[in-house]
């Protein structure tokens, strides 16, 4: 049986990647624990009188309803509960704060259910909330796809290619540690106007990355997570919390979670700037070439000598995938990482990418198998368009490494703040 830790917390079956304790600590509640429960443990656990308030996640948002003596009207209408508050008589009252978080997420992405032809992926607890809010907020049509085929299965997707204008993912598909997967190909939806994904880890799922590439407005799940936690805390303690707290907490969470990725020509100074950035930010720097050496068990020139560039690039892509799954680090890439298109999505899924620029004549060739004796102008002609495609912004390495690192850190912090500008001032959606 799961042991009592604190009077507040999150219940669910698998909670290893949850950041809810950090969010609630930022909301002023350090007494918040993660409680992993098996289904048979649920009734006995909730009977513990020491518990005061809880959040509820997969797979118990519907299962807790019979254990509540009272439901908030919105939770009752939706048929899903993600917040429990102990009442003076010792019973539980159930609330749904996912609805508030969902509306905040939609607003942040410039999305709306009003008049939309919605294709909803998944039919679990959070899906119930999305279905209810989509209808309350005026969607034109709502189609739910799931594995069991309660309404339709994923085999029925082609029926909805032409009509769908808004797609919402309410499944775990695309979440770490299984990032890079998506249930749909957005290029098949000619009238698509928006995409939302309730997943927050990684910051940009494969679904959202494709939406960005296609220029389709989109929104990720971190906004929903922070906003619903804010309203849950209001229920926990009976006190209002200004909407500006969403921006304050969300920007910090995003800043701490996303990676800073450095790309650029061999010898442009990525590692040196990475060292300066590590000192400035306190983040761990990970050199992908060093990780390749560890994985291969041999130096890079030996990898090239034995298997050529293809062998090296294969290992490099494996390392990119592994290291991109980390959070809040500095990833220093090799100069040719951009030559394989498959590396872009992992690097971008949870990172902001900076191209380090330096004149060709100033590039160092030492210790670089492809640079020694190579025509760097010809190499640059091939790679420069790829660097520009991968990069979010470019940094000129024409000063001290410390100055370049400071520019990157300023840009990165400004970027994370700008992502939350919608909630900087009070005002409910």
User: What's 335's domain CATH number?
Assistant: 3.40.50.300
Distances in Å between the Cα of 211 and the Cα atoms of 186, 208, 250 are 7, 5, 22
* 74, 120: one domain: no
The packing angle between helices 288-296 and 300-324, to 10°, is 110
In this structure, the answer to whether residues 259 and 392 fall within a common structural domain is yes
- The reported pLDDT for the residue numbered 428 is 42
Task: Evaluate whether residue 246 is within a structural domain.
Answer: no
| 250 in any annotated domain | no
The total domain count for the chain is 3
Residue 238 lies in a domain: no
Q: Of 225, 242, 268, which residue constitutes the final position of a domain?
A: 225
Which residues make beta-bridge pairs with 70? 93
Q: pTM score, two decimals?
A: 0.89
Is there a single domain that holds both residue 211 and residue 339?
Answer: no
Q: Is 424 exposed, middle or buried (0-12, 13-18, 19+ CB in 10 A)?
A: middle
Which of 225, 246, 268 is the C-terminal boundary of a domain?
225
CATH number of the structural domain spanning residue 57: 3.40.50.10860
**Whether the bond into 202 is cis, omega within 30 of 0:** yes
pLDDT per position in the chain (429 positions), as tens? 678 999 999 999 989 878 999 999 999 999 999 999 999 999 999 999 999 999 999 899 999 999 999 999 999 999 999 999 999 999 999 999 999 999 999 999 999 999 999 999 999 878 999 999 999 999 999 999 998 877 899 999 999 999 999 999 999 899 887 788 999 999 999 999 999 999 998 999 999 999 999 999 999 999 999 999 999 999 999 999 999 999 999 999 999 999 999 999 998 999 999 999 999 999 999 999 999 999 999 999 899 999 999 999 999 999 999 999 999 999 999 999 999 999 999 999 999 999 999 998 878 666 555 555 678 889 999 999 999 999 999 999 999 999 999 999 999 999 999 888 877 654 444
pLDDT at 47: 96
Q: What is the pLDDT of residue 426?
A: 45
d(C-alpha 155, C-alpha 167), whole Å? 16
Residue 209 lies in a domain: yes
- Residues with Cβ within 8 Å of residue 51, at least 6 apart in sequence: 4, 7, 9, 45, 86
91 and 159 in a single domain? The answer is no
In whole angstroms, give the CA distance from residue 163 to residue 115. 12
424 in a structural domain: no
Instruction: Specify whether 213 is located in the same domain as 272.
Output: no
Q: Answer for the pair 273, 407: CB distance below 8 angstroms, yes or no.
A: no
92 and 151 belong to one structural domain = no
Please tell me the predicted confidence (pLDDT) of residue 165.
Answer: 98
Say if residue 213 is in the same domain as residue 302.
no
Within 13 Å, how many C-alpha atoms sit on residue 228's CB side? 28
Q: Which residues contact 98 (CB under 8 A, 6 or more apart)?
A: 61, 80, 82, 126, 129, 224, 228
Whether 135 and 268 share a structural domain: no
The order of strands in the sheet holding 92-95 is 32-36, 8-12, 53-56, 83-86, 92-95, 70-71
Residues 18 and 145 in one domain: no
The DSSP bridge partners found for residue 92 are 86
Which is it for strands 194-197 and 218-219: parallel, antiparallel or unpaired?
parallel
Out of 54, 75, 96, a domain closes at 96
pLDDT at 427: 47
Same domain, residue pair 333 and 219: no
Residues 112 and 90 in one domain: no
Residues 28 and 120 in one domain: no
| Residues with catalytic function | 61
Q: What is the 3-state secondary structure (H, E, C) of 350-363?
A: CEEEEEEECCHHHC
Q: What is the CA radius of gyration of the chain?
A: 24
Q: Identify which of 166, 157, 103 has the alpha carbon closest to the alpha carbon of residue 132.
A: 103
Write out the two tokens for 203: 């910051």
Range of the domain at 193: 108-225
8 A C-beta contact, residue 169 and residue 207: yes
The 3-state DSSP class for residue 5 equals coil
């Amino acid at each position: 049986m799961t042991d009592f830790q604190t009077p507040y917390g999150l219940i669910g079956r698998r909670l290893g990647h949850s950041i809810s304790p950090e969010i609630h600590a930022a909301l002023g509640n350090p007494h918040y624990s993660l409680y992993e429960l098996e289904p048979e443990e649920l009734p006995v656990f909730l009977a513990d009188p020491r518990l005061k308030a809880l959040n509820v996640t997969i797979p118990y948002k519907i299962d807790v309803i019979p254990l509540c003596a009272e439901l908030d009207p919105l939770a009752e209408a939706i048929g899903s509960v993600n917040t429990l508050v102990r009442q003076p008589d010792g019973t539980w009252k159930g609330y749904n704060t996912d609805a508030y978080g969902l509306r905040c997420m939609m607003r942040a992405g410039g999305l709306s259910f009003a008049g939309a032809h919605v294709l909803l992926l998944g039919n679990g607890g959070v899906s119930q909330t999305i279905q209810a809010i989509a209808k309350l907020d005026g969607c034109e049509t709502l189609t739910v796809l799931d594995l069991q085929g309660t309404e339709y299965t994923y085999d029925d997707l082609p029926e909805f290619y032409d009509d769908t204008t808004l797609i919402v993912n309410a499944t775990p598909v695309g979440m770490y540690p299984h990032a890079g997967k998506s249930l749909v190909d957005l290029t098949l939806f000619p009238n698509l106007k928006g995409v939302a994904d309730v997943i927050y880890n990684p910051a940009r799922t494969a679904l959202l990355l494709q939406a960005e590439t296609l220029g389709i407005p989109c929104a990720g799940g971190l906004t929903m997570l922070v906003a619903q936690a804010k309203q849950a805390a209001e229920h926990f303690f009976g006190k209002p919390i200004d909407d500006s707290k969403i921006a304050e907490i969300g920007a910090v969470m995003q800043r701490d979670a996303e990676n800073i990725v450095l790309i650029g020509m061999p010898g442009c100074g990525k590692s040196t700037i990475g060292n300066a950035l590590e000192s400035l930010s306190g983040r761990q720097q990970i050199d992908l070439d060093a990780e390749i050496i560890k994985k291969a068990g041999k130096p890079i020139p030996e990898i090239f000598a034995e298997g050529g560039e293809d062998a090296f690039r294969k290992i490099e892509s494996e390392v990119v995938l592994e290291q991109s799954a980390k959070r809040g680090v500095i990833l220093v890439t090799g100069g040719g990482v951009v030559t394989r298109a498959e590396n872009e999505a992992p690097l971008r899924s949870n990172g902001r990418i900076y191209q380090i620029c330096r004149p060709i004549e100033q590039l160092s060739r030492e210790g670089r198998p492809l640079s020694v004796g190579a025509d760097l102008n010809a190499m640059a002609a091939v790679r420069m368009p790829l660097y520009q495609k991968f990069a979010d912004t470019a940094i000129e390495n024409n000063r001290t490494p410390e100055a370049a690192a400071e520019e990157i850190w300023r840009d990165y912090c400004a970027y994370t703040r700008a992502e939350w500008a919608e909630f900087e001032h009070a005002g409910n959606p």
